[in-house]
Structure 1
Amino acid sequence: MKKIGFLSFGHWSPSPQSGTRSAQDTLLQSIDLAVAAEELGADGAYFRVHHFARQLASPFPLLAAIGARTTKIEIGTGVIDMRYENPLYMAEDAGAADLISRGRLQLGISRGSPEQVIEGWRYFGYQPEEGQSDADMGRRHAEVFLDVLKGEGFAKPNPRPMFPNPPGLLRLEPHSEGLRERIWWGSGSNATAVWAAQQGMNLQSSTLKDDETGEAFHVQQAKQIRAYREAWKDAGHSRTPRVSVSRSIFAIVNDMDRAYFGQSKDQDSIGFIDENTRAIFGRSYAAEPDRLIEELKRDEAIAEADTLLLTVPNQLGVAYNAHVIEAILTHVAPALGWR
């Protein structure tokens, strides 16, 4: 059995060919798609966060709105770039959104990926400490965020406060119990997957990672997951961690599917996400259900994961994306034992 959700980048474009032509369209359609996915029986609605781009950016208003409109589906991110975040303010926003959703938040965070502008985090008021990189800064912000989510008091109270305080040091409010165990780290390498395990975070592995061995993407990703689980065991955590992988998967069941995805590439590709990092990008899957089932059986990383996030082409509109999700849930997942 696997949890199956969708992951949306929330793209929008004023182009007449786009079904999502403004930021408002993206936000409102994201809410509607989450509602539709819950009705179809999907397990999760996840959203990417990109700054300075015509995509979804600040996630918490959206997550809170979805939490108020739904009752069962998990609501998450994949991922929030921690280089841009004030971890204390973020903890307050996350606590509020989690309480509104009654404990359904699943927050994916990370050091981030190359962005639309040069060192965009500087415009948000952040810069690495002397001798550290922006990746170090992102991990430091993450550690502070994880610490305050524990709900322990750390701030000295004012002896003459406006309102009465509880005894002892004060914590951030609102605090949502259990949210600390529902934080995921988006990892692009084996080393950061091990670090995530040591920190007690769940693991998100996307459709790209550092090309560390030259093997097929799904093989490298499966090894990353195994390294993570071994590090989790070594760290002595008491709970069982969760692991998600993302995939572009389209079951071709009608002519519209064939027109959109009949020519999708079916092999991994190699590229560079910055000057020094060679990355491998996982293939897309698009085929009639019977063939799709056989191809997915050979994906080692999907087999290792407990959660699968289906990347959706959000600019094709809510109705079509609901169809994409339903086709996987109906025609593919049962045959693979995911449902």
Structure 2
Amino acid sequence: MKKIGFLSFGHWANHPSYQARTASDTLLQSIDLSVAAEEIGLDGAYFRVHHFAQQLASPFPLLVAIGAKTKQIEIGTGVIDMRYENPMYMVEDAGAADLISEGRLQLGISRGSPEQVIDGWRYFGYGTEEGETDADMGRKKSMEFLERLNGVGFAMPNPNPMFPNPPGLLRLEPYSAGLRDRIWWGAASNATAVWAAEHGMNLQSSTLKYDENGKPFHIQQAEQIRLYKEAWKKAGHQREPRVAVSRSIFALINDQDRSYFGHEGRGTDSFGYIEQDRRAVFGKSYAAEPQKLIAELSQDEAIKEADTLLLTIPNTLGVEYNVHVLSTILKYIAPELGWR
């Protein structure tokens, strides 16, 4: 059994073929799609965060709106770039979003990836210290965020406050118990997956990772997941970890599907560079008639290792078509592969 969710990058553009032409379109359609996804039995609604782009950026207003209009579906991110964040304020936002959704927040964070703007986090008022890289800064902020989520008081109270204080040091409010266990780390390498396990975070692994041995993408990703699980066990955490992988999967059952994605099924893994000298491997998209798709996906080792599958969706094609895409996976693919 696997949890199955969707992952949206939240694109919009004034293009004649797009249903999402404005930021308002994308935000409102994201809410509507999440409600519809819950109705068809999907387990999660996740959203990517990018800055300085016509894509979803500030996640918490959207997550709160979805949390208020749904009852069961998990809501989350995949992922928030911590280089841009104020960890203290983020604790308050996350706590509020989790309480409104009654404990359904699944928050994916990472140290960040290349963005639209050179050192875009500097425009947000953040900078690195001497000898520190931006990746170091992102991980340091993540550690502060995790520490404050524990709900332990750390701030000295004012002896003459406006309102009475509880005894002892004060924590950030609102505090949501259990949220610390629902933080995920987006890992692009084996080493950062191990690091995430050591710090008690769940693992998100996307459709790309650093190429560490030249093997096919799904093999490298499965190796990453196994290393993560070994590190988790070694760290002695008291709960079971969760692992999510992302895939682009399209079941071709009508002419519209074939028109949009028929060419995707001919794709293969690809290799390239996403930053400086770091070579990466990009996983292929899956697109075929159901029986062929089932045969191909049954060979994907990383999906077998994960407990959660996030289906990347073409959000610009609108809510109705994306409900169709997700429904076909649930109807034709998931039962045959034992995901449901």
**TM norm. shorter chain > 0.5:** yes
- Classify the secondary structure of the residue corresponding to 1:334: coil
Q: CA RMSD in A?
A: 0.5
SS at match of 2:194: helix
1:90, 1:298 → 2: CA distance? 39
1:92 paired residue number = 92
User: How many Å separate the matches in 2 of 1:19 and 1:270?
Assistant: 32
Amino acid at match of 1:188: A
Q: Provide the residue aligned with 1:110 in structure 2.
A: 110
Q: CA shift at 1:15, angstroms?
A: 1.3
How many Å separate the matches in 2 of 1:245 and 1:121?
Answer: 27
Match of 2:167 in 1: 167
What's the offset of the Cα at 1:243? 0.1
Amino acid at match of 1:151: G
Equivalence for 2:183: 183
- What is aligned with 1:333? 334
- Separation in 1, partners of 2:198, 2:339: 29
Report the counterpart of residue 276 of structure 1 in structure 2.
277
Once the two structures are superposed, residues 126-177 of structure 1 have per-residue CA deviations (whole angstroms, 9 ceiling, x without a partner) of 1111111000000000000000000000000000000000000000000000
**1:1-339 to 2 correspondences below 5 Å:** 1-264=1-264, 265-339=266-340
Distance in 2, matches of 1:191 and 1:328, equals: 33
Distance 1:317 1:11 in 2: 11
Q: Residue 55 of structure 2: SS of its match in structure 1? A: coil
SS at match of 1:244: strand
Structure 2 alignment gaps of length 5 or more: none
Question: What is the alpha-carbon distance in structure 2 between the residues aligned to residue 73 and residue 305 of structure 1?
Answer: 19
The one-letter code matched in structure 2 to 1:13 is: A
Q: Deviations for 1:5-31, whole angstroms, at most 9, x for unmatched residues?
A: 000000000112211000000000000
The residue type paired with residue 305 of structure 1 is A
- After the TM superposition, which parts of structure 1 deviate over 6 Å for at least 4 consecutive aligned residues? none
Q: Tell me the alpha carbon deviations over residues 52-107 of structure 1, each in whole angstroms, 9 at most, x when there is no partner.
A: 00000000000000000000000000000000000000000000000000000000
Separation in 2, partners of 1:130, 1:106: 33
- 1:41 to partner: Cα distance: 0.1
Amino acid at match of 1:82: M
- Rounded to whole Å, the distance in 2 between the matches of 1:96 and 1:76 is 14
Matches of 1:130 and 1:232, distance apart in 2? 32
SS in 2 for 1:273: strand
Paired with 1:34 and 1:232, the residues of 2 have a C-alpha distance of 31
Q: What is the one-letter code of the residue matched to 1:42?
A: L
Normalising by structure 1, we get a TM-score of 1.00
CA distance in 2, matches of 1:11, 1:178: 32
Q: Report deviation, 1:275.
A: 1.5
> Structure 1: which 5+ runs fail to align?
none
> TM-score if structure 2 supplies the norm length?
0.99
Structure 1 residue 235: deviation in Å?
A: 0.6
* Distance in structure 2 (CA, Å) of the matches to 1:172 and 1:40: 37
SS of structure 2 residue aligned to 1:102 = coil
Residue 244 of structure 1 aligns with an amino acid whose one-letter code is A
Amino acid at match of 1:334: P
Whole-Å separation in 1 of the counterparts to 2:276 and 2:135: 15
Q: What is the one-letter code of the residue matched to 1:299? A: D
Aligned partners of 1:309 and 1:179: how far apart in 2? 20
Q: Report the alpha carbon displacement of residue 266 of structure 1 after superposing the two structures with TM.
A: 2.6
Deviations 1:167-209 (A, max 9, x none): 0000000000000000000000000000000010000000000
User: Aligned partners of 1:315 and 1:226: how far apart in 2?
Assistant: 35
Give aligned pairs, total.
Answer: 339
Moved more, 45-54 or 262-271: 262-271
- The percentage of aligned residue pairs carrying the same residue is 74
Equivalent residue of 1:335, what SS? Answer: coil
Answer with 94-103 or 123-132: which moved more: 123-132
Secondary structure of 1:325's counterpart equals helix
